[in-house]
Amino acid sequence: MIQFSEVSLQRGTQFLLEDADLTIFESQKVGLIGANGAGKSSLFAMIKGELHADTGEIFLPSNRRIAFMAQEVEETQRTALDYCLDGDDWLRKIESKIAQAQERGNDHDHANWLGEFESAQGYTAESRAETLLQGLGFKMTDMRKPVSDFSGGWRIRLNLAKALMCPSDVLLLDEPTNHLDLDAVMWLENWLRQYPGTLLLISHDRDFLDAICSHIVHFYQKRLTVYKGNYSDYERQRAEHLAQQQASHEKQVTKRAHLQQYVDRFRFKADKAKQAQSRLRMLEKMELIGPAHIDSQFEFSIPVAEKTSQLLVNLSQADLGYTLESGEKIIQLGDSNFALRDGQRIGLLGPNGAGKSTLIKSIVGEIDVLSGDRILGENLKIGYFSQHQLSALDLEASPLLHIQRLSPKVLENEIRRYLGGFGFIGDDALRAVKGFSGGEKARLALSLISWTKPNLLVLDEPTNHLDLEMRQALTEALQEFPGAILLVSHDRHLLNSTVDEFYLVADNAIQSFDGDLPAYHSWLQARQANTNQAEKNELSVGKVEKIDRKEERRKAAEAREKLRPLHKRIEQFEKSVLKAQEHLDQISELMSDTALYEAEQRETLQSLLSDEAKWKKALAESEEAWFEAQEALEEAEVLLD
């Protein structure tokens, strides 16, 4: 059992939690939800012992093994398989003891540790690690690659695999689906359903929470409220609670009005003053029940272009792929025929790397078709969202200025009202983008797309970095959008709620998929089983193609040499991010001292606030530079492959 009793946690002058209580029982699967910055990750840090509550007590069961998914990107030359196996630190210790016993010739210790190795399921460890890595999208050929060869997103997958490999009683996962595609999300969901320990999960994916969680903990108004059931159950229970709250509020408003009327009428009359004062005290002590309201600050629609074409985009007998610097053409989708018509709402499915992003980039014109025809409708107006769009934002400009550049003649008040629907309220509309989080940048990119009034929305993983409230607002906006939609997403709720048909991108082809997402999951499982069996058969009969190992090492060395400058840049930016974060943590610790806010400490406080602003800016710039370098590395790796 994990228990928080009257726990308060303060960051600077703000309380994240205040006298909060929470009890989590063994084997429960608990989803943690709440606004960004509400304190979900801080709760994880307290459970891990990295952060201590300001007041209150936290009770953790003794001798409980806690596993968690690291968020940092580790640089190492260990292979992906070994890195995953390192998650089982007890098994690694046993292996070390076996080796030491062999070196000393101690047969007794050697036999003892071999018994421990069997008890720790050591003989199946490599097979289990391979299964984890394959489930998360790694190929068998990736298993022996060094971790340093993988891009940032894939290294995060390795961190997830390492956490799952660790034998644990308590598993903490913070946004595990952020860097996963739909295939890996479905696999992880199945794995977590079978996990026997206590699971604490931070996620903004409602279908993921629905499939796994037995309880939901809502971070709201510095308190922790537990709801029994999954996310859909939470929504229903909270709606009922808010309805009751509204009824209580309306009843209380009537009662308060009656009391106030009595006070106003009689408080200055001698014979009634005593009764009036008692009612006034009652009025002051009465706990005010806030009116029920929808908490989300996001509410927007996506207007459509006034003119449109019946046929928006048509790819005819087109080869889709990339052209290398050498001039060599890499075809991912050959002889492709694909058309988008006005009002169509299509979701793209397919294994990772099969060509979904290539198809999207070919449609929007980001890359040219290698052969064949790409025909555009006369009135085509595309609204395109991808993670690349976030790096294209002007870091020095505000959301207001971004819109003003698109429409210089529109009044500022109108633009600010529009941006308010995307959560940029008040001064947030005037802040420079360089200080924005990933979620804020994604909201701004979506607002810019919406402002242009497209008739075709092409969205490649639009929910990355978005919280539950913004995802819901986007879902509702897409449901009402009358134009055409082409969508790639690992968010099944978004797919199910906004598209009418699916197309499958696999095996170098695009074809209509006659089925729903559960049917696609079944298709994936059958495909993976066939692939695994084919690999085993190929290995068993010795049909593995013989490769000149010396030549292979030479080519690998050449590829690493080409990527070395990018790796160095990324490493530099990572160090800058860590340095800035360390300074901010130190400042936060200093600012938690209440004595700092006394009059004689004013200059010290001002200095700390100035330093905090400086390091926040440095952190934002370093994170942005790191993101751009990662994008460049991933693109370079695609070309080298």
Q: Compute the average pLDDT of residues 11-29.
A: 89
The answer to whether 344 and 501 are in contact (CB under 8 A) is yes
pLDDT at 289 over 50: no
Q: Dihedral (C-alpha) 498, 500, 503, 504: value to the nearest 10 degrees?
A: 70
Q: Is 267 helix (H, G, I), strand (E, B) or coil?
A: coil
| pLDDT band (50, 70, 90) for residue 438 | confident
Q: What is the pLDDT of residue 15?
A: 87
Per cent of the chain over pLDDT 90 is 47
Q: What is the pLDDT of residues 526-535, one digit of tens each?
A: 887 776 666 5
The pair of structure tokens assigned to 226 is: 């537990």
Q: Return d(Cα 261, Cα 258) in angstroms, integer.
A: 5
- Hunting for tokens 């901010």 — which residue is that? 584
* Helix residue ranges, H only, 120-230: 125-135, 152-165, 182-193, 206-212
Q: What is the pLDDT of residue 277?
A: 58
Q: Compute the average pLDDT of residues 223-239.
A: 89
Q: What is the pLDDT of residues 303-334, one digit of tens each?
A: 999 999 999 999 999 999 988 777 788 889 99
Q: What is the pLDDT of residue 624?
A: 74
pLDDT at 38 over 50: yes
pLDDT at 464 over 90: no
Q: Kindly report the pTM of this predicted structure.
A: 0.69
Q: What is the pLDDT of residue 275?
A: 52
Q: What is the pLDDT of residue 400?
A: 95
Sheet hosting strand 55-59, strand order edge to edge: 14-24, 2-11, 55-59
Buried residues in 13-37 as b, exposed as e (16+ CB within 10 A): eeebbbebebebeeebbbbbbbebe
Q: CA quadruple 521, 522, 525, 531: dihedral positive or negative?
A: negative
Length of the chain (residues): 641
Q: What is the pLDDT of residue 457?
A: 96
Q: What is the pLDDT of residues 342-390, one digit of tens each?
A: 999 999 999 887 889 899 999 999 999 999 999 999 999 999 998 788 8
The answer to whether 45 and 23 are in contact (CB under 8 A) is no
pLDDT at 291 over 50: no
Q: What does the DSSP assignment read for 380-405?
A: --EEEE-HHHHHTS-TTS-HHHHHHH
Q: Compute the average pLDDT of residues 565-580.
A: 78
Among 27-31, 255-259, 526-530, where is mean pLDDT lowest? 255-259
Per cent of the chain over pLDDT 70 is 85
Average pLDDT, the chain: 84
| pLDDT band (50, 70, 90) for residue 551 | low
Q: Return d(Cα 550, Cα 322) in angstroms, integer.
A: 28
Which of 270-274, 480-484, 569-573 tops mean pLDDT? 480-484
Q: What is the pLDDT of residue 546?
A: 44
Q: What is the pLDDT of residue 43?
A: 93
